[in-house]
Structure 1
Amino acid sequence: MKKVIKKRKLGFCALIFILSFLNAQSQTLRIMSYNIHHGADKNEKNTLDEMGHFIRQQRPDIVGLQEVDSVCTRSGKVDQMKRLAEITGMHYAFVRHFAYQGGAYGVGILSKYPIKNVEPKILKLLKKGPNGESVSMLFAVIQIKKKDILFATAHFSAFDKATRASQVNETLHYLSENNLPVIFTGDLNATPDTEEIQLLQQHLQTTDTAGVHTFPDDVPVKKIDYILVSPGILKRVKKVSAPLVHYSDHLPFCAQIILK
């Protein structure tokens, strides 16, 4: 009887060891995509610090941010990415779309891990706007436990379907220029059933098959915020959510993913 019990204990210990080993081979990441509406809620009340504290509480590994101000008049001349980095204790990067109100307007990232090789990529606007003919994507190489991942964030056109389709093709072209696994986040201003998102998902795997609604923040009726990854690196999605916080006109979209 003692021998049977001993064998069972040994078998149980072996199982625990194997499971621990397999988990060690996988990488769990918490990713967030958040359109921060220049650090203000829909009534233009400054909520930047509240956003920072919320992000810190969520404990993400990497965050892609859209509609970010850098020392613009409307947002009190604050370097918003620097301020968010101070609150969260994370690394940060910013690239601008264009000059705006004495500063710049663009996209940014926060990362728990070191950020390398930050690069802006141009997304053309087919219909020229008051601020120019293009906006920027942010591309950055992030080192996670000695492995490099290409992290990108973008804000596609809200007003022109043809421009969004063009921006999808430009995005896919840029992504094809490297051999690194990709995590792509953004406010893409299109719902999952549109041609432009369908095209994007032919090359990148969505983390959200349920279509979690993210806009507008008060009564979210559609999904326009995304986290997508290279299909070869995703083992499974543990959880997706859009926490009901009203610091912006969008809800943040969060995904907890396990990479192979």
Structure 2
Amino acid sequence: MSSKNFLFTIVSLLPMLCSLPSQAQNLKVMSYNIHHGADAAERMTLHEIGAFIKESGADLVGLQEVDSLCGRSGNVDQMKVLAEITGMHYAFYRHFAYDGGAYGLGILSKYPIKEQSNKRITSMKNGRKESLAFLAVKLHTGKKELAFATVHMALDQATRLIQAEEVMHHLAGSEPVILTGDFNALPNTEEIQLISERLTFMDRGLAHTFPAAEPVKKIDYIFVSPSLLKKKSSTFVWKEIQYSDHLPLEAKLKL
């Protein structure tokens, strides 16, 4: 074939090639309250947690109750250890100083973290207004740029309602979004409904996530922007993984 005919063939095929659908990307997301790297009996399980996350093949993980250099968990930087075990990138943001170190939220990502956003949400302690961490990062999966965030909400509903509004305010302007966390709220509560007005609530099966041994309620969630759910998705609770007092929640998305 002459170079002229070859060029003509390529040019004629371009419209057909451009009309082909792009290959979907599978994305596995996890939310896991790791209970400062210990199980319900306070046995240290950080390395088991890391090995589990690695073997699960998770691409993005939102972690709650993470210690950094705290005496109770052996003065280790838990996010650094988990990143070393899994080979993933990581981010950490503290709620407050604790036991010689810090206590807060963490994120693991197979993709490089382009930007970390450290925000605060309202917390009430002994009648005083304080704050807790809200951690979000921006990253690119290779097919899509998105915001990935994690949160740990309060035990009382009045504070959770305030926190839910603040979380949605912090996420305003970020699209698409994946939000993970321990929300300490049941599915039919007002705060969960408030978040669901903008983000799609995964796990319609309402699988229980707490406590780990004999779970009786769902308080751990994964929310995603509706634009990420144009293809089939699914959720799964790892009932046999009891390295914490919570069970890990996983969502499989097709971008």
Q: Could you tell me whether the CA contact under 8 Å between 2:25 and 2:143 is conserved in 1? A: no
Moved over 4 A (4+): 129-132
Between the aligned residues of both structures, percent identity stands at 54
Give the whole-Å Cα distance in 2 for the aligned partners of 1:240 and 1:132: 36
Q: In structure 2, what is the Cα distance between the partners aligned to 1:217 and 1:100?
A: 25
Shift of 1:239: 2.4
Compared CA separation, residues 179 and 46, structure 1 to 2 (3 A): closer
Give, as a single letter, the amino acid of the residue that structure 2 aligns with 1:255. Answer: A
Separation in structure 2 between the aligned mates of residue 226 and residue 163 of structure 1, nearest angstrom? 18
Residues 131 and 74 from structure 1, CA distance in 2 versus in 1: closer, same or farther, beyond 3 angstroms? farther
| TM-score normalized with structure 2 length | 0.89
Give distance in 2, aligned partners of 1:137 and 1:46: 25
Match of 1:246 among 242, 246, 253: 242
- The 1:80–1:237 alpha-carbon spacing in structure 2 relative to 1, beyond 3 Å, is farther
What corresponds to 1:150 in structure 2? 147
Q: Counterpart of 2:162?
A: 166
The verdict on how the C-alpha distance between 1:45 and 1:193 changes in structure 2, with shifts beyond 3 A counting, is same
1:138 to 131, 135, 148: 135
Distance 1:190 1:236, change over 3 A: farther
State the number of aligned residues. 237
1:71 pairs, out of 69, 74, 77, with: 69
Structure 2 residues without counterparts, runs of 5 or longer: 1-16
Q: What is the identity, as a one-letter code, of the residue corresponding to 1:120?
A: N
Q: Is the 8 A contact 1:70 1:77 kept in 2?
A: yes
Are 1:192 and 2:190 counterparts? no
Partner of 2:208, secondary structure, is: coil
SS of the residue 2:222 aligns to:
strand
Q: Which residue of the partner structure matches residue 35 of structure 1?
A: 33
How far is the alpha carbon of 1:129 from its aligned partner?
4.8
Q: Deviations over 1:51-93 (max 9, x none)?
A: 0000011000100000000000000001000000010010001
SS of structure 1 residue aligned to 2:226: coil
Q: TM-score when scaled to structure 1?
A: 0.87
Equivalent AA in structure 2 for residue 60 of structure 1 = A
Q: Deviations over 1:91-117 (max 9, x none)?
A: 001000000111100000000000121
In structure 1, the gaps of 5 or more residues are: 1-17
**Amino acid paired to 1:83:** V
CA contact (8 A) 2:122 2:163 kept: yes
Q: What is the aligned partner in structure 1 of residue 116 from structure 2?
A: 118
2:175–2:225 Cα contact (<8 Å) kept: no
Amino acid at match of 2:36: H
Deviation at 1:132, TM superposition (A): 7.4
- RMSD value over aligned CA atoms? 1.8
